[in-house]
Structure 1
Amino acid sequence: MTDWTPELLLGLDERALVEYPILACRVHRQMLDPLLFLAERAACAGFILKVASSYRSFDRQLLIWNNKARGLRPVLNDTGEAIDINTLSARDKVFAILRWSALPGASRHHWGTDIDVYGSAHTDPEYQLQLTLAETQGDGPFAEFHRWLSDELAQGNSDFFRPYAQDRGGIAPEPWHLSYAPLATVFSRQLTQELLREQLEQTDLELKQVVLDNLDEIYSRFICVD
């Protein structure tokens, strides 16, 4: 049985995490061996799997959200280009931010089960990672790695999956985002709208009232992806 607490679901409990410096990541302890196995499979295929992002706390996600809402951090449109959020209504600001950034308390990165990955075998060491679709497609620097990863996942060689593989009108496609199914599917079911609302109500969140007024739609479009 997988143990969980409300604090773990919300990114407020780090006791289940372990740090793995070689991959520069912090993940749930039950996910480390499967991640190392995936990295070994990648190495056998000629790729060096790297982790761009792993565990992210509630406070870190809150900082990202608030900075975007205040115009201190770029907010992107569907094609990944920065937009001027000052031209948007408060509601449109919320949904524009949600397209690429999770609501604090609702990020899958809170659980230690989700990572953003890329393959670096054929990349200039000076290259600045952007995590854009262009990097994963065509002749993008990580396209070959992602083609291999797609085959690997399709063949069922790991318990990872891409929760944002397709555009369902919520979070934009993120082929680099992997989720460890045996844990993440359990945690996803436990993260209720009521639990999230209770946390947000006591949080200094920019655009909070707009978020709370639209939480039903936000929950169904951006959080319930499994």
Structure 2
Amino acid sequence: MLSNTELTGACETHLTAVDGHKLHPDAAHAYLAMQKAAVAHGLELAIASGFRSLDRQLSIWNRKWRGKLPLLSKQGEPLDVSTLTDTEKVHAILHWSALPGSSRHHWGSDFDIYDPRPFQSNELKLRLVPAEYIDTDGPCHNLWQWLTQHAHENGFFFPYARYQGGVAQEPWHLSYRPVSQKCQQQLKLELLAETINSIAIEGKSIILDNLAQIKSQYIDTITEDDGWTNIWCGY
């Protein structure tokens, strides 16, 4: 069980280094085993993003709120921040980015994966968009297909395998279930409220007023199964 500060990304005492990123030790061990299995099948597996701290998630949130980072619609089109109500801004951000203190990347159990080989020449840049994984000619398609069949063998699943009215579909996001399941159960509404109250986050009052809905829609709603039926839902 993680401490409250570990659970909300405020500290890193629960992490270990692997492939230039930080993961929970149990997730790191399972990742290395999965990586070895991928190599045996002629594939390469690398981490694009592992642990993300509370401060980093807060910076992303505040920059999006202020219009310093792009704010996108559900279809991926740029939004004009000045035309949105505070409630609309909250939901627009949450579709693509986690509320600080609630990100699964805080736990060290979750990380974004990719096949590094197509990007070695620097001519192609990883964007972390569904087409890179789901389209048959996508640079990470073969790896994604293999993971949909074999990731569960090492304890991993895709929490955002399909859009379910909350977080956008993320075919690159893997979660180590033995750790993340316990963390999700541990992350209570009271702790989230305490965390939001303690940080300088834009839109604080509207977040707190709608925190129960936010938790239900964007934090608790995940794809529990390992299947990829209806993967185009929402796109």
| Interval of TM-score (by shorter of Structure 1 and Structure 2) | over 0.9
Q: What is aligned with 1:128?
A: 125
Change (3 A) 1:93 1:112: same
Q: What is aligned with 1:101?
A: 97
Q: What is aligned with 2:187?
A: 191
- Work out whether residues 48 and 120 of structure 1, in 8 Å CA contact, stay in contact via their aligned partners in 2: yes
Give the residue type in structure 2 aligned to 1:10. Answer: T
- Work out whether residues 47 and 121 of structure 1, in 8 Å CA contact, stay in contact via their aligned partners in 2: no
With normalisation by structure 2, the TM-score equals 0.90
Q: What is the CA-CA distance between 1:81 and the residue it aligns to? A: 2.8
CA distance in 2, matches of 1:123, 1:70: 32
With normalisation by structure 1, the TM-score equals 0.93
Name the SS of the counterpart of 1:52 in structure 2.
strand
Identity of matched residues, %: 41
Name the SS of the counterpart of 1:115 in structure 2.
strand
CA distance in 1, matches of 2:181, 2:87: 29
Give the residue type in structure 2 aligned to 1:215. Answer: L
Q: Which residue among 137, 150, 172 is the counterpart of 1:176? A: 172
Q: What is aligned with 1:92?
A: 88
CA distance in 1, matches of 2:116, 2:78: 26
CA distance in 1, matches of 2:35, 2:144: 13
- Work out whether residues 8 and 101 of structure 2, in 8 Å CA contact, stay in contact via their aligned partners in 1: yes
Name the SS of the counterpart of 2:117 in structure 1.
coil
Superposition RMSD in Å: 1.3
Q: 2:56 aligned with 1:53, yes or no?
A: no
Q: Which runs of 5+ in 1 are unaligned?
A: none
The 10-residue stretch of structure 1 (212-221 or 39-48) with the greater mean CA deviation from structure 2: 39-48
- Work out whether residues 159 and 173 of structure 2, in 8 Å CA contact, stay in contact via their aligned partners in 1: yes
Q: Which residue among 154, 158, 162 is the counterpart of 2:158? A: 162
- Work out whether residues 164 and 174 of structure 1, in 8 Å CA contact, stay in contact via their aligned partners in 2: yes
CA distance in 2, matches of 1:136, 1:202: 38
Q: How many residue pairs align between the two structures?
A: 220
Q: What is aligned with 2:5?
A: 7
Alignment of 1:1-150 (within 5 A): 3-20=1-18, 23-126=19-122, 127-138=124-135, 139-150=137-148
CA deviation string 1:28-79 (max 9, x = no partner): 1122110101111111122211111000110010000000000001112222
Name the SS of the counterpart of 1:75 in structure 2.
coil
Give the residue type in structure 2 aligned to 1:204. Answer: A
- Work out whether residues 119 and 126 of structure 2, in 8 Å CA contact, stay in contact via their aligned partners in 1: no
The 10-residue stretch of structure 1 (116-125 or 200-209) with the greater mean CA deviation from structure 2: 116-125
CA distance in 2, matches of 1:122, 1:198: 43
